[in-house]
Amino acid sequence: MSEHIAKLRNIALIGHGGSGKTSIAEVMLFKAKVTKRIGRVEKGNTVMDFEPEELKRGNSISSSFYQFEWDKNTINLIDTPGDQNFFSDTKLCLEAAEAAITVIDGIDGVKVQTEQAWEFADKYQIPRIIFINKLDREHSDFEKTIEDIKKTFPQKIVITQIPIGKEAEFNGIADLITNKAYMYNDDGTLTKTEIPDNIKEAVTAARETFIEDIAEADDNLIEKYLEGEEVTDEEIKNALRQGTVNNLFVPVLCGSAIGKTSGIGIETLLNFISLNMPSPIDREGKIGTWEEKEIKREPDPNAPFSAFVFKTIADPYAGRLNLFKVVSGTLGKDGTFLNTTTDVKEKYSQLLTIAGKEQKLAESAVPGSIAAVAKLKETITGNTLCDENEKIIYQTAKPISPIISFAITAKVQGEEDKIFSSLIKIIEEDNGLTLERNSETKEILLSGCGQVHIEAALEKLKRKFNVEALLNIPKIPYKETIKKKVRVQGKHKKQSGGHGQYGDCWVRFEPKPRGEGFEFADEVVGGAIPKTYIPAVEKGIVESCQKGALAGFPCVDLRATLDYGTYHNVDSSEMAFKIAASLAFKKAMEEALPILLEPIMKITITTPDEYMGDIMGDLNSKRGKVLGMDSKGKNQVIIANVPLAEFQTYATSLRSITGGRGLFTLESSHYDEVPAQETQKVVEAVKKAEEE
């Protein structure tokens, strides 16, 4: 069983959208004789991208999985999205991998999503290699891409292959590990041969550098190298594997998955995975907790079973399908386990492995296995599954925070509840989405990592649950407050035969620091107002604060101090004092210089340097206030405070400005005063809406 675990390879393909990750996966499956033809993204016939929303857009929107055999090893391949809109799925699924292949376009070099994926891999301490793709394309440049990689990433980069030929002349790779050439033939096959004479000198020099770079992984090797002794192929291979597995350096491979020379570099990539990338046994055990005690579970098949759920697929007919990574122990083809996150015992009848859009029955799952079970009642992404007698909880990755929200309504009246319940199921499989009811604006808000993300969710909603929704720009949750301290009287006196109504109160209204909310104080002395009526005064003011004087938004950040009043033994009542208090509030709003407050967000923008000017100009035009700037690799990071009203659709704006190369995060910061000119626009818009 341990031997089986040692032959497991859980490998994630990561990188920017369009770099060719799915194409590489398709060629891998073809080379492994899993498929009879190479699927093409542009033709919509790939094994890894199969959802209608993916076929429509021509790119991955969800991580896909395929288990296959290569060189007596079992490879679990995870093809992750590279589009910013769907990158939350990449973050969550990458945690299930033991290693990653970072795919970089040989034309465009390192892009911002590649850097973000690299950061995720750093966080999980995942060893990785780099595959430079598309080297047969016009304007591709291996040397320039290497420079870009070294400039961007801090880790040591080790070149293990160099291309033979450039652009249209690219027809093979020189492998520095074996010191052999892999040449592309006209019939699409590859031939392993000696290094061509015209590049022998360059390859010899490159191999010397390669051996020098990997020597640090093996003390004996570096000693032999420094003393000028002959280094054996076996010593080179051992040092390369140790350095890769222990994350001492990042090997670089190259080739072309799809194009004139389809498949160059993919067989050597698969061989590299088998020989040099870690199995679950090579990785440290995972740390969890139970009852505040830290527990470490090693990848031991005889240890208590434990696993974490990293992805959920929702289907209206088949139900929920939970994908999980086994950390320790062995799971049979049916049985029970405990979900310690929800404290629910779950039963399953079939154990599955994933092969694209298909599921295959599995007999067992050992440490490192990526498996799935269907129809668990209360298990979702992020939950821990384990032996009920050996409890543990793992802290798993959190989704990327949403950056854009839309108010969502039913296209057909009466289907609001169906939309809400169906979207909850969509969110179970896409944790990058959130759904909430805004208590202030009374809207249902669907939030995600971009407008395309939201639109894809609605397409899936219609396809899977046969319900349609409409998107609208959300209302801004403005608030109101005052700038001046005033003291006013609120008096309610009414005589209508028999008992009348009488309430009289004097209240001081004064502004409070931003964010401190509402405060009521009682300073009445001498029984000017009986204690029984004072709560009614507070209630009257609190209720009046729900609708401010300017545009009817909630009034906040003020103190109301009741300091005097009069009452009538017969005509006074709680209702009379409540009305008096509301009259005092209205009068105060006329005198205390009411202002409008708007939500201010903190935005962090990461962008290539060449777009800095355009972004700064755009920020200024949207009333943004830059707080600071910093460098991050070859990118610039801008931190600013921005009004939500100006940035609700910023994801689209930034994509347009940077050609998709910029990204940002948005978080709530505080409320601040709306400029007078903008206030007038808001007030007029509210009045117009009320009239309509």
pLDDT, residue 38, reads 87
Per-residue HEC secondary structure of 49-76 comes to: CCCHHHHHHCCCCCCEEEEEEECCEEEE
Does residue 320 surpass a pLDDT of 70? yes
Residue 290 lies in a domain: no
Residues 662, 619 share a domain: yes
Residue at which a domain ends, from 282, 311, 344: 282
In the block, tokens 């074996």 appear at: 178
Give the domain CATH number at 371.
Answer: 2.40.30.10
Residues 180, 234 share a domain: yes
Residue 288 lies in a domain: no
- Read off the pLDDT of residues 416-463 as tens digits, 9 standing for 90 and up: 889 988 999 899 889 999 999 888 888 999 999 988 899 999 999 999
In this structure, the number of other CB atoms found within 10 A of the CB of residue 7 comes to 17
Q: Print the domain residue range for 370.
A: 299-386
Residue 402 lies in a domain: no
- Read off the pLDDT of residues 579-637 as tens digits, 9 standing for 90 and up: 999 999 999 999 999 999 999 999 999 998 899 999 999 999 999 999 999 988 778 99
How far, CA to CA in Å, does 652 sit from each of 132, 615, 634, 647? 29, 13, 23, 10
Is the distance from CB of 310 to CB of 324 less than 8 angstroms? yes
Residues 10, 159 share a domain: yes
- Give the max Cα distance, the chain: 116
Residues 610, 581 share a domain: no
Q: What does the alpha-carbon distance between residue 142 and residue 147 come to, in Å, rounded to a whole number?
A: 9
Does residue 498 surpass a pLDDT of 70? no
In this structure, the number of other CB atoms found within 10 A of the CB of residue 219 comes to 10
Span between the terminal Cα atoms of the chain, in Å: 72
Q: Is 547 helix (H, G, I), strand (E, B) or coil?
A: coil
Query: Which segments of 526-682 are extended strands (E)?
Result: 558-566, 594-608, 625-632, 635-643, 663-673
Residues 667, 566 share a domain: no
Residue in 332, 398, 317 with CA at minimum distance from that of residue 371: 332
Question: What phi and psi values does residue 629 have, to the nearest 5 degrees?
Answer: -140, 150
What residues does 507 pair with on adjacent strands? 488, 562
What residues does 640 pair with on adjacent strands? 603, 626
Residues 6+ apart with CB under 8 A from 69: 32, 75
Give the domain CATH number at 560.
Answer: 3.30.230.10
What residues does 672 pair with on adjacent strands? 598
CA geometry: angle 483, 486, 490, nearest 5 deg: 125
Residues 336, 308 share a domain: yes
pLDDT, residue 112, reads 83
How far, CA to CA in Å, does 653 sit from each of 2, 619, 658, 669? 52, 11, 9, 21
Is the distance from CB of 408 to CB of 103 less than 8 angstroms? no
CA geometry: angle 134, 136, 139, nearest 5 deg: 85
Question: Considering the entire predicted model, what is its pTM?
Answer: 0.87
Please list, residue by residue across 309-332, b when 16 or more beta carbons sit within 10 angstroms of its beta carbon and e when fewer do. bbbbbbeeeeebbbbbbbbbbbbe
Residue 90 lies in a domain: yes
Burial of 253 (0-12, 13-18, 19+ CB in 10 A): buried
In the block, tokens 């122990």 appear at: 329
Q: What is the mean pLDDT of residues 210-223?
A: 85
pLDDT > 90: what percent of the chain?
73
Does residue 288 surpass a pLDDT of 70? yes
Poorest-pLDDT segment among 139-143, 191-195, 305-309, 651-655? 651-655
Residues 525, 432 share a domain: no
Does residue 201 surpass a pLDDT of 70? yes
Residue 399 lies in a domain: no
Q: Which amino acid is at 278?
A: P
Residues 182, 105 share a domain: yes
Question: What phi and psi values does residue 227 have, to the nearest 5 degrees?
Answer: -90, 0
Residues 649, 519 share a domain: no
pLDDT, residue 56, reads 86
pLDDT, residue 1, reads 55
Residue 394 lies in a domain: no
Does residue 57 surpass a pLDDT of 90? no
Residues 619, 490 share a domain: no
Number of domains observed in the structure of the chain: 5
